[in-house]
Amino acid sequence: MAPLTGKVVVITGSTRGFGRVLAEQVADRGARVVVSGPWPEEAEKQAAALRERGVEALAAPGDVTDQAQVEALADAAVAAYGRIDIWVNNAAAATPVGRAFDIDPAEFRRAVSVNVLGTYYGARAAGIRMLAGGGGVIVNMLGRGDNTGPTPYTSPYGATKAWVRGFTRTLQKEYEKTSVRVVGFNPGMMLTDMLLNPHVVGDEGERAMKPFAVVTRIFADPPEVAAAELVAVLERDRPPRAVNRLGPAGATRHLARTAVRAITRRGAAVPALKVERLAVHGTTGAGSSILGDKGVDPAITGEPPEEQPALPAQ
């Protein structure tokens, strides 16, 4: 019997991108999957597709910025399957590339709401139920900035991922003598829509993006690669505390792969980037914008908070 057979797995932000791929892969290993996202129709469609394959799957609303929805998601999993074995805090908000003061403050609020509060709400909802029900594994998704170093031109995202790393390590210390295991997982760069359709702000942001096509070609993988590695981690009796696919070893591996591709002229083609430039957001004071509403990114309300950074993860 596969290690994940019968396990109850909840994945936030699992209707698109990496989360969707991960849901499919754990389902292939026999897990019972709870699909969630901020759009209930998408979640139900994904769950229905899994059920057609013979998988036990449930859809539940999952706007991670709403604590009540996160608690309801956890309750739905327990009501349907009796427990939660694995909870993956996958939902995340990417932000435009640009200098910190040029980026719309709303982007900072969005990054904190999704990446910080969403991770906290999810970990809390899962952890309380796991402690009461025999234990489990919580996975917090890391990314560029989780090494607490500077993240030029991606300050909202980098700062929130530094917080997630610190929060993850704190949970590991506080609950190390319990049956709850907390894992920090950095998937590296993934070829998802959020990565391939970045937004830039200002001349500095545009300059920062110039080498991005080359960086993507060298370091980015399809989301199936990182998902398979996370599945392997979850299949262990005692998962490691941290996994970084783009640490020194991972970077060396990607560079070697690029060299082989250059010699053999073989390898998967990387889709072209579609960069959208946004106006610089300047203010004369709280609530008084020099640019009016021209500096506002429509993605604040129109884009799903599900994916990875607009620059390489670290």
Which active-site residues does the annotation give? 157
**Strand partners of residue 138:** 87, 182
Are the CB atoms for 297 and 6 separated by under 8 Å? no
92-125 in b/e form (b: 16+ CB < 10 A) is: bbbbbbbbeebbbebbbebbbbbbbbbbbbbbbb
Q: Report the DSSP pairing between strands 288-289 and 283-285.
A: antiparallel
Between CA 47 and CA 40 the distance in angstroms is 10
Collapse the DSSP code of 286 into the 3-class scheme (helix H, G, I; strand E, B; otherwise coil) and give the result.
Answer: coil
Are the CB atoms for 295 and 218 separated by under 8 Å? no
Between CA 154 and CA 215 the distance in angstroms is 16
Between CA 14 and CA 74 the distance in angstroms is 15
Are the CB atoms for 276 and 83 separated by under 8 Å? no
Between CA 130 and CA 107 the distance in angstroms is 33
